[in-house]
Structure 1
Amino acid sequence: MSKTQTKPKIPKNPENIHRVNFEKLVFGGKALGRFETGACVFAPKVLPQEEAEVYISKKKRDYAEAMPLRILKKSPERVEPLCSHFEKCGGCSFQNLPYEKQLYWKEEFLRESLERIGKFSVSTIKRFLKPIIPARNTFRYRNKTEFSFTRGEEDRKIQVGFHQLGRKFDLVEPNFCLLQSEIADKALGALREILQKSKLTIFSSSPQNRKASWKGFLKNITFRTNYQEKILIIISTSDEKFPEKELEIWKSTFQKHLQGNFVGIIQLREKQKKKNPTKTKVKILYGQAVIPEKIADLLFEVGPQGFLQVNREMATVIIEKLRQIAAGFEKKPKVLDLFCGNGFLGLAVAKEVSSVTGIELNSNAIEEGRRNLILNSIKNYTFYEGDAAKTLKDLIQDNKFDLAVIDPPRAGLGEKACEVLLQTKTKKIIYISCNPSTLARDLKYLAENSYQIISSQALDMFPQTYHLESITVLEKIAKKI
């Protein structure tokens, strides 16, 4: 691997440097320690039972955020990370921790959220919380990876990589990433060759002007791979045409390195208004606009803006779980697929159930989902476009559901969607979540309003990171006669 060109900044003010003993890991990938005053301090890349010298990067009234300078006392559980960039890279959180300990802490993140935010008692949690499901592969599991661009401060050449920990304007420049597939590593090598001579500008990334004026061309690049080791390359840029001469170099270089695995280059032209893109145009620069994917026995076509679980093997576990639950009904259930995206969860059970009704706000996802219905010969799935709570409220006037499958964004359901979901009076709810905090909040609301938790279980969808997925099953409490 290439070496990172920048070094951590050491603060000149000695008052910002502290020795801290760390107690535990928390969701977010940081270790929690305490000052002598009792105030909390959070630092990444440090483990429980370690003493570290840290500098304070952000200070609030009752807690502080810090960056480690050196480990003074190492945990006996600390292991050597496989990636030489681990200490500086903002990607992985736990490569310095044995895998069985990663699983322990992820299960603890879920348990602690249920107790602290959900207000469930220890005995109640013990009743329904099941052991975490380990990943089938702890490396090389991602089918999608995004890299950022910047320019070197010394040679001014374009750099590509991941954001450095605590330094969002600087990049770590790996030659490969152990979480992505090997074909994506080859694509990264090809990209480095391209960038050596590229004349393209970088969007809003000048090291001399950190408050950039939102100008430039290249924003980021995404590699999306599939079960056949094919790769689709997606380049996000400002709203300008990709220069023809540059494009020929990009195409020929990727073809040389990737050969038959290379299916296309897509440009996402983003019209910018201040910090946020307001409109995106999809332009096919070469090849095809979608990449085929297979998870379990299901086929998908994933576009440049499409969402699909990044871990194919663990997504298969989710499918298996959903089918087991759907098969437990006496009669084939009518299924509600809320926040359905391209229909992944509903597709998983469609052939085992009476009907599936999907609700999704994103029109691109619905368009992709309808193509997936055709691919899988599914005719009992209906998509509705609109806000989850509002659309569901309209639908339940004339529709009843036996099973609700929900997979909301990180923000969770929220009270409004929970209220409408309760009105469906569905017999069972399967709640898929990637955020233990918002999950616990929503489960508290549902449990206080006629539902009981049958089981909750974490899945390690994202090994080496602090992220986790979970499946929670709720059942409506029957009224006493």
Structure 2
Amino acid sequence: MKLTIESMTYGADGLAHADNGKAVFVQGAVAGDTVEAEVVQDGKSFMRARTTEILEPSPNRIQPPCTFVGICGGCSWGNLSRTAQLAAKEQNLRSTLERIGKFAPELADELVQPICHTKDDWGYRNKIELEPTVVNGRVRLGMHGVDPSKIVTVDMCPLFDKRFPKALKSVVGALNYLSGSHDLGLERVGIRASRRTKALEVALWTPTGSFPRSQVSRVLADAAHPTSIVRVMSKGEKKARRVSKVEMLAGEGSWTENIAEDQ
């Protein structure tokens, strides 16, 4: 099926329309692309499709600095220029106000102000969350893929704060090393950074119970030099786990950020 992508939707897909007028949500394409796509779901009111070939690339399509764009789910619009991304977000907001909120177009124009955005196209995100998997008895950490059933192992993220370019690799390496001799019981790992306060926190989500606190603190401190290491303990059923306690393992025990200053 040959399609021309008209706009970006909420999430990763581009929006096109089939010859019969049915909306098609297309994975792997950006606004302005003309693509060959394979239908993966044909519903009553819409279809979902996957790009198999880019026939004519959009003038707003870019070559991103991350090789995992389109595989990792962390930057689903990474192939689209920043200017086009901002325009798409603004248009999505206007569309939501008009279609769902029933606002008149004139009122939507009045309400929607220019987007406040960072100066940098990349290297501005202050948070990374990693999901653990066990491979050959060792913990591997990665990000959820575009396919949510898959975990993509990475050791860098160009979107993460550029003041801490080695933080992700250091944390992943340290926890992989520790997993060789300890059962950490990791459920999730968070890394937060601030270019303004220079704070760097590593948060480890685990069940309640015994934990090699001193070894984890020492190895993470030597590898990543964080200002804070905390353990977030949770309990309950997997789909409804709740935080029972937050334990400071090293450093300040919290992460700080300044807001409403330079973007």
Structure 1 length as normaliser, TM-score?
Answer: 0.49
Tell me the CA shift for residue 279 of structure 1: 4.3
For residue 210 of structure 2, what is the amino acid of its counterpart? K
Q: 2:217 aligns with which of 230, 239, 251?
A: 251
Instruction: Report which of the two structures shows the higher radius of gyration computed on alpha carbons.
Output: 1
CA–CA separation in structure 1 for the residues paired with 2:6 and 2:134 = 39
Tell me the CA shift for residue 183 of structure 1: 5.3
CA RMSD of aligned residues (A): 2.5
Match of 2:190 in 1: 222
**Structure 1 residue 49 corresponds to structure 2 residue 17:** no
CA–CA separation in structure 1 for the residues paired with 2:262 and 2:29 = 29
Q: 2:81 aligns with which of 98, 105, 126?
A: 98
Q: Which secondary structure state, in structure 1, belongs to the residue aligned with residue 154 of structure 2? A: coil
Tell me the CA shift for residue 92 of structure 1: 0.7
Match of 1:360 in 2: none
CA–CA separation in structure 2 for the residues paired with 1:274 and 1:253 = 28
Counterparts of 1:63-462 in structure 2, within 5 Å, are 63-152=46-135, 155=136, 157-166=138-147, 168-182=148-162, 184-194=164-174, 195-196=176-177, 198-199=179-180, 217-226=185-194, 227-244=196-213, 247-248=214-215, 250-259=216-225, 262-296=226-260, 313-314=262-263
Match of 1:412 in 2: none
Tell me the CA shift for residue 83 of structure 1: 0.8
Tell me the CA shift for residue 163 of structure 1: 0.8
CA–CA separation in structure 1 for the residues paired with 2:157 and 2:19 = 39
CA–CA separation in structure 2 for the residues paired with 1:269 and 1:127 = 46
Tell me the CA shift for residue 220 of structure 1: 1.0
CA–CA separation in structure 1 for the residues paired with 2:43 and 2:238 = 28
Q: Which secondary structure state, in structure 2, belongs to the residue aligned with residue 110 of structure 1? A: helix
Structure 2 length as normaliser, TM-score?
Answer: 0.86
> What are the superposed Cα offsets for residues 346-400 of structure 1, whole Å, 9 maximum, x if unpaired?
xxxxxxxxxxxxxxxxxxxxxxxxxxxxxxxxxxxxxxxxxxxxxxxxxxxxxxx
Could you say if the C-alpha distance between residues 35 and 196 of structure 1 is closer, same or farther in structure 2, counting changes exceeding 3 Å? farther
Q: Which runs of 4+ in 1 moved over 6 A?
A: none
> What are the superposed Cα offsets for residues 103-155 of structure 1, whole Å, 9 maximum, x if unpaired?
21111111111211122222333344333334333222222221111134xx5
Tell me the CA shift for residue 56 of structure 1: 4.0
For residue 143 of structure 2, what is the amino acid of its counterpart? F
Is the contact between residue 232 and residue 243 of structure 2 (CA under 8 Å) also seen in structure 1?
A: no
Tell me the CA shift for residue 230 of structure 1: 2.4
Q: Which secondary structure state, in structure 2, belongs to the residue aligned with residue 169 of structure 1? A: coil
Q: 2:8 aligns with which of 22, 25, 37?
A: 25
Could you say if the C-alpha distance between residues 73 and 236 of structure 1 is closer, same or farther in structure 2, counting changes exceeding 3 Å? same
Structure 1 residues not aligned, in runs of 5+:
1-17, 203-216, 297-311, 315-481
Could you say if the C-alpha distance between residues 201 and 23 of structure 1 is closer, same or farther in structure 2, counting changes exceeding 3 Å? farther
> What are the superposed Cα offsets for residues 185-236 of structure 1, whole Å, 9 maximum, x if unpaired?
433222232204514558xxxxxxxxxxxxxx21111112232322111101
Tell me the CA shift for residue 94 of structure 1: 2.1
Identity %: 26
Match of 1:435 in 2: none
Tell me the CA shift for residue 291 of structure 1: 2.7
